[in-house]
Amino acid sequence: MFLNYSIPFLRPGLSFIPPAHENDLVMACQGAINSLRCGFNKQKKHRSMARNFNFSAGPAMLPTAVIDRAREEMLDWNGSGMSVMEMSHRGKEFVSIAEKAEADLREILAIPDNYKVLFLQGGASSQFAMVPLNLLKDKKNADYLNTGMWSKKAIAEAKRFCDVNLAGDTSEGNFTTVPSQNTLNLNPEAAYAHYTPNETIGGVEFGYIPETGDVPLVADMSSTILSRPIDVSKFGVIYAGAQKNIGPSGLTIVIIREDLIGHPADGIPTMFNYATHSDSGSMYNTPPTYNWYIAGLVFEWIKEQGGLPALAEINRRKATKLYTAIDNSGFYSNPVAENARSWMNIPFTLSDSSLDAAFLSGAAEQGLLTLKGHRSVGGMRASIYNAMPEEGVDILISYMQEFEKKHG
């Protein structure tokens, strides 16, 4: 029966309805105390619960501080009495969240004023189509650099809309290198040139930004955005699925130079037209509000870490440690050319693949999760985005060394 009573000190603002009988009052108080205890216990359990090191390629780890803050704000954002999940995207509360997130991202990446930032849905995969649908204008050709599984997918989609010139192609070397600038076969008449600065599956990353002259450069930055400073002015379009360095899956960020907006292909669906989203502040329809909010918390966290220069330093150090451990062992190997090695996704194989399952289960016992390589390549892959603490990499290296001692 006490369940019917409100618990005044748990729910401020609600008036206490006195119970009809003394016994009920005792029960109500006991219930309230139990609820409080239960709340504290739960909180304590949550606080002391170990966070595992999750090496997933995406959705990937988020900074614990961000999740903790989201938890604190879950029921009541900033005294609004609402969860962000419940807010109208047009209400002043959410609009302030959205604007701050965009302002912070602009600050972090030093995005010039003549670029729009769009907060979209549809994943990076939708951009494989949106890019040709919006950038071809009256042209029929686009340049693509083929450096791995993700550029292959982008190319396959673009071929539905235009002739693709492979301006660079590393498939012969099994995608373990990046083409150097002087080998690129760029078409100065192309509508745009597309590349994938970091191939998430192969662990191959460009150490330079291709120079394409007047042809707008388009980058699928899904797995490298925010890992270091970049010069946005060198790009026509940057797009990225959020689920690696930005926030939860379901949000896609597009950073696009203004002059590239407003030239859609005939008959383009409204939602595939960049102008639709640019003209409406990404609120033509209901945007992924909660994901946008979490992305905003991640941007705040990045600023607190000292911005991208500070993160770049940590990311370089984490990656160097892991590659050094791999290269110094006779047991693990990474096939990628040294100048093309990713800071974010580090694939490696064991000298005896029959030990893969034992390696993975031993790792999981130590709280080192999701190290299995992509199903298309096998072996292992450690994705070490911004939110992976350096300690996680150190523990992984110790585990690898122990495992090698035992089985190598």
Which residues ranging from 30 to 59 are in contact with ligand PLP (CB under 6 A)? 58
Name the pairing type of β-strands 345-350 and 252-257: unpaired
Burial (CB count within 10 angstroms: exposed 0-12, middle 13-18, buried 19+), residue 83: middle
Task: Name the minimum Å distance from CB 222 to ligand PLP.
Answer: 4
Residue 223 binding ligand PLP, by CB under 6 A: yes
Q: Cβ 373 to ligand PLP, closest distance in Å?
A: 14
Alpha-carbon gap, residue 397 to 323, rounded angstroms: 10
Interface with ligand PLP in residues 276-315 (CB under 6 A)? none
> Is 222 among the residues that bind ligand PLP (CB under 6 A)?
yes
Per annotation, catalytic residue among 220, 301, 318, 343: 220
Q: How many CA atoms lie within 13 A of 39 on its CB side?
A: 9
Q: Count the residues of the shown chain that bind ligand PLP, applying the rule CB under 6 A.
A: 11
Return the ∠ at Cα 385 (arms to 336 and 378), rounded to 5°: 45
Q: Is 150 an interacting residue with respect to ligand PLP (CB under 6 A)?
A: yes
Tell me the closest approach of the beta carbon of residue 250 to ligand PLP, in angstroms: 9
When asked if residue 373 is in the footprint of ligand PLP (CB under 6 A), the reply is no
Q: Pick the binder of ligand PLP from 125, 180, 181, 401 (CB under 6 A).
A: 125
Return the number of the residue (254 or 368) whose C-beta is nearest ligand PLP.
Answer: 254
Q: Which residues make beta-bridge pairs with 257? A: 115
Name which of 197 and 379 has its Cβ closer to ligand PLP: 197
Amino acid type, 14? L
Name the active-site residue from 104, 116, 150, 318: 150
Task: List Cβ neighbours of 324 (8 Å cut-off, separation of 6 or more).
Answer: none
Closest CA to 11 of 90, 59, 75: 75
22's tokens: 């003394």
Among 134, 177, 200, 370, binds ligand PLP (CB under 6 A): 200
What's the closest the beta carbon of residue 58 comes to ligand PLP, in angstroms?
Answer: 5
CB 53 within 8 A of CB 395: yes
Cα angle value 87/93/98 (rounded, 5°): 95
Name the minimum Å distance from CB 32 to ligand PLP: 46
What is the DSSP annotation of 258-283? GGGSS-PPTT--GGG-HHHHHHTTT-
Please report whether residue 220 would count as binding ligand PLP according to CB under 6 A. Answer: yes
Active site residue 244: yes
Name the segment binding ligand PLP (CB under 6 A); options: 5-13, 217-225, 269-277, 282-290.
Answer: 217-225
* Active site members: 150, 220, 244
**Chain positions contacting ligand PLP, by CB under 6 A:** 58, 123-125, 150, 196, 200, 220, 222-223, 241
